[in-house]
Structure 1
Amino acid sequence: MEAAISPLPDDVEALKALVATMARRAEEAEQNAATATAKLANAMAHQSAIEALIAHLKLQIAKLKREQYGPSAERSRRLLGQMELQLEELEADATEDDLIAEEAAAKTTTVTAFERKRPARKPFPEHLPRERVVVPAPCSCPACGGDRLSKLGEDVTETLEVIPRSWKVIQTVREKFACRDCEKIAQAPAPFHVVPRGWAGPSFLAMLLFEKYGQHQPLNRQAERFAREGVPLSLSTLADQVGAAAHALMPIYKLIEAHVLAADRIHGDDTTVPVMAKGKTDVARLWVYVRDDRPFAGSDPPAALFHYSRDRRGEHPQAHLAGWSGILQADAYSGYNDLYREGRDPGPVLEAGCFAHARRKFFELA
């Protein structure tokens, strides 16, 4: 049975009162809905902030444990990387929910926006150049219109900005001149190139090598990014430049090698490197030998020497240190044992056990 609809009044004043009542109820309903929305947004922002804080604390605990107990396994580094990625996503979600809550609270008069505690941001580095943009001052007083204004001070707001990478082609022009007396042709010598007859400048080569080896960006991804920036370069072309640059840097590598192996004591270690193979991924090795006498009041600069191998056979460190003798601080890997034997030429290597590895065993026993 349908509910009976009350007849509308015929009096004009009564109709006005009825419309005013309905408008007031609609406004109250809208305000109640906005309040509920703001409260829900605040609750979501609060929840996101709690999740981000928990992830941040878990990451700090994991890092402290790694520093205290010294695990150097590749797996622990990957776990920390995954935790940092999770923290990054939670922090972004928390900031987005915080802004949504602020916008929702601005539509109400009874709900205060949730404010998430953010870590204090460090000031921008002093070495960055500053571009000063001065907002024009008023010519007259906004209150009374007077023009007798005196400067009391200024407020400076700093905004970090970046200039996108730009490409350019440098044209080196070598003019030719002919002598009218002897008819000989004179021309300035060709400019120096890092790679003989190369087309890539030194800054481009440095960026290419750093992205590949320092940032672990393979050449195919770099080529895709270059193409999006309007500079198409094939993978084989980039690989050719990497090989040529590696050959050009070999004298520097030899100097680093001589400097490291001139030390009386070095630290040796190896780490895994995943390498693509036919239908699978092989585990290769990166060997590092470090010279650093600063803890012993040494004045020589520290340096690190790297070698690469497709496996972890003991012949690799024996070949790396074939002409060296001194104190070697390393783990208990058996591949070093041939270096410690008596009668070795040019002399036996004195083993210095790694306390970080031993400390882990003591901790496990405790």
Structure 2
Amino acid sequence: MLSVVNICHVRCRFRNRQIERRPCRAARAQAAEVELAQARALASCTQAMIQELKLEIAKLRRDKYGISSERRARLIDQLELQLEELEAAATEDALAAEQAAAQDKTSTVRAFTRRKPVRKPFPEHLPRECVVVEAPTNCTCCGSDRIVKMGEDITDTLEVIPRQWKVIQTVREKFTCRSCEKISQPPAPFHAIPRGWAGPQLIAMIAFDKYGQHQPLNRQSDRIAREGVDLSLSTLADLKRLF
């Protein structure tokens, strides 16, 4: 009994494989027909080109050696007729190849279910700003005030904060001693450029735009001027020399 069941199972699997292979065989046969039609069109075009070259050679020989004989004139006429026939055959083969290719392109495909696109979530390290839209205190349908919160919907919107410029004023207070009459004062803050006025982030921005983004200094000067800060091209060039 078990052997009969196994045999039936094997037969079913063999039939399923045969059914699966049928579309593949049909596709291969269709592709072979397309290739055959293209090969025929190419052969017809090649024969027409050869015949045209033979006709040109015959005409050149006639022009070179003067008035041709009656036999040569008949040969030229015969070549012209053969050329017309070959051109017509080449056109028919080309149309057949195009039709076969069009049929191959319109082959049926397996049905599938299109997935709904899912947006990639925003990075977690970005700060979140929560804006709560106030809900109505009364029902919008009947006007009753007996409403209870049942949930909420959150919509994420990606926003950018424009670049801001600022001037950092470092105040160092001076003190004098009434006993020894000496003045004491904290040391000056560190600057990337000694006795410079440009902060480290400003210098890094100019250097990155120049060498990382390949942005010339004149364009940087124009962009900074549109943001309300006047940094001339010569000033940026002086900073670039100190990198």
1:97-116 aligned within 5 A: none
Deviation string 1:248-274 (CA, Å, 9 cap, x unpaired) is xxxxxxxxxxxxxxxxxxxxxxxxxxx
1:115-154 aligned within 5 A: 121-154=119-152
Specify the SS of the correspondent of 1:183: coil
Measure, in 1, the Cα distance between the counterparts of 2:182 and 2:212.
50
Across the aligned residues of Structure 1 and Structure 2, the Cα RMSD in angstroms comes to 1.7
| Alignment correspondent of 1:190 | 188
Measure, in 2, the Cα distance between the counterparts of 1:119 and 1:224.
41
Tell me if 1:158 matches 2:170: no
1:195-274 aligned within 5 A: 195-244=193-242, 246=243
Change (3 A) 1:164 1:185: same
Change (3 A) 1:191 1:133: same
Q: CA deviation at 1:125?
A: 1.8
Question: Partner letter of residue 191 of structure 1?
Answer: P
Measure, in 2, the Cα distance between the counterparts of 1:243 and 1:123.
43
Measure, in 1, the Cα distance between the counterparts of 2:130 and 2:220.
35
Measure, in 2, the Cα distance between the counterparts of 1:157 and 1:144.
28
Q: CA deviation at 1:120?
A: 5.6
Measure, in 2, the Cα distance between the counterparts of 1:150 and 1:178.
68
Instruction: Compare the two structures and name the one with the higher helix fraction.
Output: 2
1:1-366 aligned within 5 A: 121-244=119-242, 246=243
Return 5+ residue gaps in structure 1 as ranges: 1-117, 247-366
Q: CA deviation at 1:119?
A: 7.2
Specify the SS of the correspondent of 2:189: coil
Specify the SS of the correspondent of 2:120: coil
Measure, in 1, the Cα distance between the counterparts of 2:136 and 2:124.
31
Specify the SS of the correspondent of 1:182: coil
Question: Partner letter of residue 185 of structure 1?
Answer: I
Measure, in 2, the Cα distance between the counterparts of 1:119 and 1:206.
40
Measure, in 2, the Cα distance between the counterparts of 1:194 and 1:214.
20
Question: Partner letter of residue 189 of structure 1?
Answer: P
Specify the SS of the correspondent of 2:147: coil
Quick check: 173-182 or 143-152, which moved more?
143-152
Residues paired across the two proteins, number:
128
Measure, in 2, the Cα distance between the counterparts of 1:141 and 1:154.
16
Change (3 A) 1:208 1:119: farther
Larger radius of gyration: 2
Specify the SS of the correspondent of 1:210: helix
Return 5+ residue gaps in structure 2 as ranges: 1-115
Measure, in 2, the Cα distance between the counterparts of 1:189 and 1:153.
58
TM-score norm. by structure 1 comes to 0.34
Identity %: 72
| Alignment correspondent of 1:251 | none
| Deviation >4 Å, runs of 4+ | 118-121
Deviation string 1:20-63 (CA, Å, 9 cap, x unpaired) is xxxxxxxxxxxxxxxxxxxxxxxxxxxxxxxxxxxxxxxxxxxx
Measure, in 1, the Cα distance between the counterparts of 2:181 and 2:233.
46
Q: CA deviation at 1:123?
A: 2.4
Measure, in 2, the Cα distance between the counterparts of 1:134 and 1:159.
13
Deviation string 1:328-350 (CA, Å, 9 cap, x unpaired) is xxxxxxxxxxxxxxxxxxxxxxx
Deviation string 1:61-93 (CA, Å, 9 cap, x unpaired) is xxxxxxxxxxxxxxxxxxxxxxxxxxxxxxxxx
Question: Partner letter of residue 166 of structure 1?
Answer: Q
